[in-house]
Amino acid sequence: MLLADVVAASGAVTATRARTAKAAAIADVLRAAAPAEVEPVTAWLAGEPRQGRLGVGWRSLAGFAGDETAPAGEPLTVTAVDDALTALAATSGPGSAARRDAALTALFSAAAPGERRFLVRLLTGELRQGALEGVVLEAVAAAAGVPAAAVRRAFMLTGSLPGTATTALAGGVEALDAARLQVGRPVRPMLASPGSSLEQALADLGADVTVEFKLDGARIQVHRDGDEVRVWTRTLREVTDGVPELAERVRALPCRTAVLDGETLALDDDGRPRAFQDTMSRFGSDGPGADDDAAVLLSPFFFDVLHLDGVDLLDEPLHVRLDALAGLLAADEHAALRMPGIRSPAAEAAAQVLDDALAAGHEGVVVKALDAPYAAGRRGKAWQKVKPVHTLDLVVLGAEWGYGRRSGSLSNIHLGARDPDGGAPVMVGKTFKGMTDELLAWQTRTFPELAREEPPWGLLLRPELVVEIAVDGAQRSTRYPGGLALRFARVLRYRPDKTAAEADTLDAVRALLA
């Protein structure tokens, strides 16, 4: 398969807002791909190289994007480009910068102008559009002629979208169904949807629910196999070596194998949550964090168990998983590891849980349907998070140079909501409110590394950073392409534990319309 075929499919995806049309264009190119080409093609159309980050920034590639010269040699194939990216990823050590530049020059000189623009967008992350992952999953199902649910489940269990596509196209539904939870390989986490209020969440889900604290912490998934304990973040980045106290607590539990889902956070001497950035400082995030990371100890709180002593629990209803978790944490010395909450509460008791969570310094509560299986990687209605303040996790699309006291700092940030149909994030507002001097300095230091363009007024960024914004609501507006604008948006914090694929959608913003 030629690179030009993939570029044409990407263009077709970009040219339409219809989700079904996007999936159909991707499915067509997947059907035409040779078995060895499926993995790189799937990765590229989902918005990133199969090899992950390659250490190539916008400044290294800016000159290639506008190069209209004719390519040298034969047309580029998918295999040739993938091999070049693999070699690029392996380039390190003394003299690696020069070798990387030479490899990029060789690759781009062989590409046609449209292919160069595609490769620049691929390598700078501009193709990574969040919900496009869901569209590619639908395309894989269509190309392989298998149920979408089978594809989603295999992806959930393996964590690899390109690998799942290869399995689906090579082995069909039988091969997909053979995927199993594997202790030591992280599972994509189940996510909660924003709930408008506690009353509405209870009305949606009924009385057969659990209401649990929503902590101001970081999501963790912990796997234990004998004495070996490993810890991953919500983005499936392993952090085991940096959190020995979490591993020690799980190693002490009365089990042989387990996969636990929960949150962790740093507490002060009074048992109240420390600032979110203090918790994130322990995970080696690039965000502004605590000055003394070593002084920050993390406490785990588990709310789910996906596997216990040889038994997979993913497909069991939540009440069965909670019973298993309660048994695991029954001893007094382990009881503090359980997320506070209550099952099947009356409305008054549920409201008391919310009051208790807020009084303890936490964000709110999560209401969960007790009959729901673990639907990893999806924001369904079975879990609903309720917070008293409207907040949105949005993608930072750009930043403007400040003026006055903020001269020389990247200040006013452009905010985008995720397109639920797989398009690029849709701008819904700007804000410079809520930024401390420390945060301004961090933005000014960090944003140039994520720049995809540098207009005179500031920077346009690759859609990678997620920021949590507090808002008073939303209003209809013709100023932004989504027809919506945020009201009184202010920065609460950056979320290095989240990817752009986990940002809130335009529908979530639309739900805040007065």
DSSP 3-state assignment of 389?
A: coil
Let me know: does 222 contact 230? Beta carbons within 8 Å.
yes
pLDDT band at 91 (very low <50, low <70, confident <90, very high): confident
Q: Which amino acid is at 262?
A: G
pLDDT, position 33:
96
505 DSSP assignment:
B
Phi, psi of 219 (to 5 degrees): -70, 135
Domain at 3-177: CATH architecture: Orthogonal Bundle (1.10)
DSSP 44-111: HHHTS-TT---S--HHHHHHHHT--SPPPSSPPBHHHHHHHHHHHHT--STTHHHHHHHHHHHHHHTS
Q: What is the pLDDT of residues 232-265, one digit of tens each?
A: 998 889 999 999 999 999 999 999 999 999 999 9
DSSP 177-246: HT----TTSPPPPPEEEE-S-HHHHHHHH-SSEEEEEE-SSEEEEEEEETTEEEEEETT--B-GGG-HHH
Q: Which residues contact 66 (CB under 8 A, 6 or more apart)?
A: none
Mean pLDDT of the chain: 90
pLDDT, position 171:
95
408-421 mean pLDDT: 93
Let me know: does 88 contact 105? Beta carbons within 8 Å.
no
Catalytic residue among 22, 214, 368, 430: 214
DSSP 244-259: HHHHHHHHTSS-SEEE
Q: What is the pLDDT of residues 95-138, one digit of tens each?
A: 878 888 888 889 999 999 999 989 988 888 777 654 578 899 99
Q: What is the pLDDT of residues 295-305, one digit of tens each?
A: 689 999 999 99
What ranges do the domains of the chain cover? Answer: 3-177, 191-386, 391-510
Q: Out of 2.40.50.140, 2.60.40.1180, 2.60.40.3080, 3.40.50.2300, which CATH number does the structure's domain 391-510 have?
A: 2.40.50.140
Let me know: does 136 contact 38? Beta carbons within 8 Å.
no
Let me know: does 230 contact 221? Beta carbons within 8 Å.
no
341-365 mean pLDDT: 95
pLDDT, position 67:
75
Q: Is the pLDDT of residue 456 over 60?
A: yes
The reply to whether 433 belongs to the active site is no
Phi, psi of 290 (to 5 degrees): -70, 155
pLDDT, position 16:
86
Q: Is the pLDDT of residue 28 over 60?
A: yes
CA dihedral 301, 307, 311, 313 (to 10 degrees): 90
pLDDT, position 129:
53
Any long-range contacts for 99-102 (C-beta under 8 Å, 24+ apart)?
100/55, 100/56, 100/60, 101/60
pLDDT, position 48:
86
Q: Is the domain 191-386 a CATH 3.30.470.30 member?
A: yes
pLDDT, position 299:
95
pLDDT band at 290 (very low <50, low <70, confident <90, very high): very low
Tell me which of 12-16, 75-79, 277-281, 428-432 is least confident.
Answer: 277-281
311-337 mean pLDDT: 96
pLDDT, position 271:
86
Task: Of 18-22, 27-31, 57-61, 213-217, give the range with the top mean pLDDT.
Answer: 27-31
**Rounded to an integer, what distance in angstroms lies between the CA atom of residue 84 and that of residue 105?**
11
pLDDT, position 294:
54
Tell me which of 87-96, 229-238, 328-337 is least confident.
Answer: 87-96
439-443 mean pLDDT: 94
Task: Of 152-156, 317-321, 433-437, give the range with the top mean pLDDT.
Answer: 317-321
**Residue 345 is encoded by which pair of tokens?**
């509460």
Q: Is the pLDDT of residue 332 over 60?
A: yes
Q: Which residues contact 400 (CB under 8 A, 6 or more apart)?
A: 410, 411, 412, 413, 414, 430, 457, 458
Full-model pTM: 0.79
Length of the chain equals 514
